[in-house]
Structure 1
Amino acid sequence: MTDRSIWGIELTPEHPPDRIASLAAQAEESGFDIAFTSSHYFNRDPFITCSKIAEATNELRIGPGVVNPYETHPARLAAQVATVDEVSDGRAAFGVGAGDRSSLSNLGIERDRPLRRVLETFDVARDLWAGETVTHEGTFTARDASLNLESPSETIPVYVGAQGPHMLRMSAKHADGVLINAAHPTDLEWASEQVERGLADRPDDRGSFESLAFASTSVAADEETAREAARPPVAFIVGGAADPVLERHDVDPDAAAAVSEALERGDLHDAFGRVTPEMIDAFCIAGTTETVADRFEAALEHVDGIVVGSPLGPNLEDAIERSSEALRTATGDERRID
């Protein structure tokens, strides 16, 4: 665990890479430590976007957040992350997870044995980054695979996107950090218990571990405007939420199923329209700067830091300023660089 609160931000490449790079530069100036670029087949490429972010920033850690090892072979992912590390002079991070079930379904991809797939992916990546030639037979195959480049970093930190108990525990035992797909203190308290169980089995030589809330956030001057902007990411969260998570928040399972079915049909407009106020309350930190600061403070009771996740807010530049202000209020940390 860390002593200093980690400030992270998710930058979704639904805008051109140059725009995302400009937002990342703003985030760096506002005190953020790390920027993750989300990965969905219908958006721009996260690795090209990471390269643009590297050019626009100086100290910000950078990585995909999160890519899945189904759409792209894990060895290829290792090479892409190593390239980000190279162009950023050693600032790369590897955000990896099992992927969004509904998006993978759109591509005809079955999300088979997700925990093993994710673990094997970053185990193989670490070996490749260390210059080893790898032969692997498991949830995927690699034979005599190696990389034709050397990363400037001795090690590239691995952050696992997780929500379920087994993935959370595996992350704490084997990875460098976890991105907990949750925004509500009830979920984060439960998740932190799973993380602690994993940390109890963590080998001493694994080094430090960061537990981060990857929290969908929407902040604006007006409460209702912020909440309305939260509909798209909340729809995707609901679409992938397990039944126990829905039950924890008394979310109507039929309403959640309707959102999920619309996503699987690719009807995003219908899916977003089916998001209820209860879903927004459960799965997003949405509201004014003051409201969001209070929610950040409650979340930080259970984690080492917060990744301010999509959608950020109805106005991205304004949302970065407001979210950094909310983090300063919640942490008492005046780290802003002017």
Structure 2
Amino acid sequence: MSDPDSPTWAIELTPEHPPERIADLAARAEADGFDIAFTSSHYFNRDPFVVLSRMASATDDLRLGPGVVNPYETHPVKLAAQTATIDEVSDGRAVFGVGAGDRSSLSNLGVERDRPLRRVLETFDLARELWDGETVTHEGTFTARDASLNLEPAGEIPVYVGAQGPHMLRMSAKHADGVLINAAHPRDLEWAAGKLEQGLADRPADAGEFESLAFASVSVAGDEEAAREAARPPVAFIAGGAADPVLERHDIDREAANEVSEALERGDLNEAFGRVTPEMIDAFCIAGTTETVAERFEAALEHVDGIVVGSPLGPDLEDAVDRASEALAAATDGEND
């Protein structure tokens, strides 16, 4: 794994805003010391690769990539080409964040998320071959025949797998360059670290280093209550889709989570957000003032190599980027002053 004395600072910038604003936020994140910026991919937001291209123009050293794309909405060969294009326009700064995708969003498109672990693995295996300049024929969870790219990346593109369940976590540790653990609480991250260790035990000796990042929902502001209120929307979606073992780990009532989930399915977002409990916010988001968030970051870093500061960031995005950087600095130094 990476040097524990130098945790990776990463951030998720959600393209629910125009590309120009996301590019400005990326430049701000780079100035604040972040290492990687991931751009989320959902059919209802702006295209992540268009936004990443603008982010590349606005930054110099920040590593950039989708976080995460799925190989159901878009063919894996196309994803490899799109990521290689970002690598080209950024002079070799691309990373590839890939996962199985959100089941409910895919169902809106009539897409079945079939054999997710196998499909994700086949996707990045194929991408690596294409990036090496190979012509590929593949028959598995998807088909590609005599596929090749007319461009080659400037360098190695690291693959980060979005993971939450035990099998995807183990697979990522065995085969990928890194993992984006969909969790914010130390209890969940400790559990995930155990699954990663199992995968690392089977990792080939020549596979290179592996990095674990907590892809954590974060909401930080000068006012604790404002930060927690801003956390309600993402926490609703997390809690509404949480598996029973996760709810049990945090003593969250199954019926309360069901009420959130049912409201989301009806499309009644206000009701869903209103049914989010304080316990759900504590379990599924790092929310509060800079000092509170720094303490939570420090606890998380006991189990991972770095943190992705994920949506919602906070009630004020620009302020939240700055505060998240300050909190990471405090957590890295062990100083929460």
- With the length of structure 1 as denominator, give the TM-score of the two structures: 0.96
* Corresponding position: 1:151 with 2:153: yes
Q: Is the 8 A contact 1:105 1:264 kept in 2?
A: no
**AA at the equivalent of 1:13:** P
* Unaligned runs of at least 5 residues, structure 1: none
**Aligned ranges for residues 269-288 of structure 1 at < 5 Å?**
269-288=270-289
2:76 to 70, 74, 77: 74
CA gap 1:143/1:156 in 2 versus in 1, 3 angstroms = same
Deviations 1:73-128 (A, max 9, x none): 11111111000000000000000111111111211211111111111110111111
Match of 1:215 in 2: 216
Query: What is the CA–CA distance in structure 2 between the aligned matches of 1:40 and 1:233, rounded to whole Å?
Result: 14
**Aligned ranges for residues 259-270 of structure 1 at < 5 Å?**
259-270=260-271
CA gap 1:262/1:145 in 2 versus in 1, 3 angstroms = farther
Query: What is the CA–CA distance in structure 2 between the aligned matches of 1:198 and 1:273, rounded to whole Å?
Result: 39
Shift of 1:277: 1.4
* Corresponding position: 1:294 with 2:265: no
Shift of 1:233: 1.2
Query: What is the CA–CA distance in structure 2 between the aligned matches of 1:318 and 1:97, rounded to whole Å?
Result: 29
Q: Is the 8 A contact 1:106 1:266 kept in 2?
A: no
Q: Is the 8 A contact 2:281 2:287 kept in 1?
A: yes
Query: What is the CA–CA distance in structure 2 between the aligned matches of 1:333 and 1:57, rounded to whole Å?
Result: 29
* Corresponding position: 1:189 with 2:190: yes
Q: Is the 8 A contact 2:185 2:300 kept in 1?
A: yes
Query: What is the CA–CA distance in structure 1 between the aligned matches of 2:159 and 2:304, rounded to whole Å?
Result: 17
* Corresponding position: 1:331 with 2:332: yes
Deviations 1:300-337 (A, max 9, x none): 00000000000000000100111100000000299xxx
Q: Is the 8 A contact 1:100 1:240 kept in 2?
A: no
* Corresponding position: 1:2 with 2:2: yes
Q: Is the 8 A contact 1:106 1:264 kept in 2?
A: no
* Corresponding position: 1:138 with 2:140: yes
Match of 1:126 in 2: 128
1:49 to 48, 51, 55: 51
Query: What is the CA–CA distance in structure 2 between the aligned matches of 1:193 and 1:186, rounded to whole Å?
Result: 11
Range moving further from structure 2, 259-268 or 246-255: 259-268
Range moving further from structure 2, 183-192 or 109-118: 109-118
CA gap 1:162/1:295 in 2 versus in 1, 3 angstroms = same
Deviations 1:163-219 (A, max 9, x none): 111100000000000000000000000001111111111011110111000010000
Alignment root-mean-square deviation, CA = 1.3
- Determine what percentage of the aligned residue pairs are the same residue: 82
**Corresponding pairs, count:** 333
Aligned-partner SS, 2:302: coil
Query: What is the CA–CA distance in structure 1 between the aligned matches of 2:43 and 2:72, rounded to whole Å?
Result: 12
CA gap 1:264/1:98 in 2 versus in 1, 3 angstroms = farther
- With the length of structure 2 as denominator, give the TM-score of the two structures: 0.96
* Unaligned runs of at least 5 residues, structure 2: none
Aligned-partner SS, 1:216: strand
1:26 to 19, 24, 28: 28
* Corresponding position: 1:237 with 2:238: yes
1:114 to 91, 116, 131: 116
Query: What is the CA–CA distance in structure 1 between the aligned matches of 2:241 and 2:149, rounded to whole Å?
Result: 34
Query: What is the CA–CA distance in structure 2 between the aligned matches of 1:119 and 1:241, rounded to whole Å?
Result: 23
Q: Is the 8 A contact 1:101 1:240 kept in 2?
A: no
Query: What is the CA–CA distance in structure 2 between the aligned matches of 1:263 and 1:136, rounded to whole Å?
Result: 38
